[in-house]
Structure 1
Amino acid sequence: MSEAILTKATAQIEAAKADPALRPVITAFFDEATFTVSYVVADPATREAAIIDSVLDYDAAAGRTSTASADRIVAHVTSENLKVTWLLETHAHADHLSAAPYLQEKLGGKLAIGREILRVQDVFGKLFNAGTEFARDGSQFDHLFADGETFMIGSIPAIVLHVPGHTPADMAYVAGDAAFVGDTLFMPDYGTARADFPGGDARQLYRSIRRLLSLPRETRLFMCHDYKAPGRDTFAWETTVEEQRGGNVHVHDGVSENEFVEMRTSRDSTLAVPNLILPSVQVNIRGGHFPQPESNGVSYIKIPINAI
């Protein structure tokens, strides 16, 4: 089944290489506070578009949100006269809050994530002691994608690849000749994502990355984050399969699965917990919604003590 999905994705990419009308126009929005890249992926023929991995600004010290990052996307969509049909999440992020509900209210579109979000909801629902009022069935999203499922962004075909390892629910979205890989790969000079979160697995991450790097070498790859590798002065988020295979410092061609797992496990043991993991995951497993307000009308985020 996995081979058939890769064959289908490859055929889609090859068709887009041959026909410019099948290549999306991609506009990136970088949020330096969380080092996150959001994307508007548009079909110039129909003006339909998808928004991938949006950011809601959050001041953790004050517990306040704002929408400056999301409003940049709204302004772009409006100025380009685009119609948003999809709001896509590559996974339940641990480093920023999703702005999907805000963008959906402003621009419309169906909110979607991978169906393995149910596993993430179960694990973190228990961690946060969310209770029976928190549904663990993915119903906070409009659509749950399966591995190999196809959809359209206007007249541009897209296919979904399940790429677990960073979390169980990570998905990559391949639209035309472009793949949005979420937290699997970083730029070649920075490496790969961590795999030590609950449900993460370095061995699974390696296999997911090799799956992505089995796509045609010319495939455009778009990262979800960039932190500027040592010696690089500018942020970057676009590369190719060929560049990753030839030069990724963690997982270039020739790095074995066991070598990667040893490196990734050792490296992850030295990494600090992300600053926004507790508010981010708590909100993002709810599709970007905050917990229901309490009797005083205020919504609260829980901080479990000595639990992670």
Structure 2
Amino acid sequence: MFHRRSPSRGAGSPTVHGFYDKASGSVQYVAVDEATKHCALIDVVQDFDPKSAATAHDSAQEILDFVAKEGLKVAWVLDTHPHADHMMASNFLKRQTGAPNGIGAKVAEIAELWRGYYNLPDAFDAATDFDRLFADGETFPLGELEVRVMLSPGHTLGSVTYVVGDAAFVHDTFMHVDSGTSRADFPGGTTEQLYDSLMAILDLPDETRLFVGHDYPPVGDREGPAWEATVAEHRAKNPHLAGKTRSEFIALRDERDATLPLPDRMLHALQVNLRAGQLPPPEDDGRSYFKIPANRF
């Protein structure tokens, strides 16, 4: 995997390692407290082949191998939301490391939506599959650092941002600074809420490093994936926001979303991610089966 390091700026500032998953365009993070070498694994991908419906944990293991090589201790396994474009590796990482896994508390409301779409009224018990369901404004330690949870709805109704010192993991709100912002047309998402979440993130200090969830290069003459820019850079240069009013952003985002296809992993991924990365329960032959609603989307 392509890897890039964003070094700590000193006391209270984490070192952030980003790992790019080319198959899904996703960025996975290892946030490190340099004082204790405790780290959080954020939005790590479970490998999935949509053609064969085969899953694997090779990418997650590569990140675990990096953690071991660097002498880090995994303190948290975190996801920002139930992803539509990749399967999460949360349960696998929890089993491998013994670290608690967490996600935003509103995942329970997302699960309620998707029980209807899949016609699985008894599926998806977030309180069982995740150790922590974080409320807006909740804090928890990462070594000597403090992590603050910001509810950031829009892309989904329950997306959260993790703010760790001068770093914020902003998932599918912003794209890279030269690309714009993320879509808001999935069930439970709204463009209006996305705009408000973007503005709340841009209220963070100018020097805050924003780490996004995806990149799909190239953009312009840029080569390769990129995922880090500051609050100040997004305010000044983000093409969906710089110089735009709220109503102009909403019109731009809605028009763009109307042209976007459903992600090819989405209908498989949600029934896994709402189980913290676990496949559907095995049937009487010992195998798991995906349930895909026909003509629903």
In the alignment, what sits opposite 1:93?
83
* 2:19 corresponding residue in structure 1: 29
Report the Cα distance in structure 1 between the residues aligned to 2:125 and 2:56, rounded to whole angstroms. 27
Find the counterpart in structure 1 of residue 278 from structure 2.
289
**Residue 179 of structure 1 contacts residue 220 of structure 1 at CA under 8 Å; is this kept in 2?**
yes
Amino acid corresponding to residue 76 of structure 1 in structure 2: F
Higher mean C-alpha deviation, range 73-82 or range 239-248 = 73-82
Equivalence map 1:48-197=2 (5 Å): 48-132=38-122, 134-197=123-186
In structure 2, the residue matched to 1:270 is 259
1:92 CA drift (Å): 0.4
* Residue 208 (structure 1) aligned to one of 188, 197, 219: 197
Segment drifting more, 78-87 vs 164-173: 78-87
Structure 1 stretches of 4+ moved >4 Å: none
CA–CA distance in 1 between the matches of 2:120 and 2:137? 32
Q: Secondary structure at the match of 2:250?
A: helix
Matched residue, 2:269: 280
Q: Distance in 1 between matches of 2:117 and 2:220?
A: 36
Q: For residues 237 and 294 of structure 1, what CA distance do their matches in structure 2 show?
A: 40
Give, in angstroms, the shift of residue 215 of structure 1.
Answer: 0.6
Unaligned runs of 5+ in 2: 1-7
How has the CA–CA distance of structure 1 residues 95 and 135 changed in structure 2, closer, same or farther, with 3 Å as cutoff?
Answer: closer
Contact 1:117 1:138 in 2 (8 A): no
Give 1 or 2: higher strand fraction: 2
Q: Secondary structure at the match of 2:127?
A: coil
Match of 1:5 in 2: none
- DSSP-derived class of the 2:133 partner: strand
Whole-angstrom CA distance in 2 between matches of 1:188 and 1:85: 30
Q: Percent identity?
A: 44
* Rounded Cα–Cα distance in structure 1 between residues aligned with 2:162 and 2:226: 19
Cα RMSD of the aligned pairs, angstroms, is 1.3
The answer to whether the Cα contact below 8 Å between 2:184 and 2:194 also exists between their aligned partners in 1 is: yes
The aligned counterpart of 2:208 is: 219
Note the 1:212-251 alignment, pairs <5 A.
212-228=201-217, 229-251=219-241
Quick check: 2:30–2:39 contact (8 Å CA) kept in 1? yes
Which whole-Å CA distance do the structure 1 matches of 2:208 and 2:124 have between them?
37
CA distance in 2, matches of 1:138, 1:202: 28
Secondary structure of 1:255's aligned partner: coil
SS at match of 1:187: coil
Question: Residues of 2 paired with 1:278 and 1:231: CA distance?
Answer: 34
The AA in structure 2 aligned to 1:191 is G
- Number of aligned residue pairs: 289
State the 1:136 CA deviation.
4.4
Post-superposition offset of 1:21: 2.2
Indicate the residue corresponding to 1:8 in structure 2: none
1:301 deviation in Å?
0.8
Report the Cα offset of residue 137 of structure 1: 5.0
- Contact 2:125–2:275 (Cα < 8 Å) also in 1: no
CA distance in 2, matches of 1:263, 1:148: 30
Instruction: Give the partner amino acid of 1:276.
Output: R
TM-score normalised by L of structure 2: 0.94
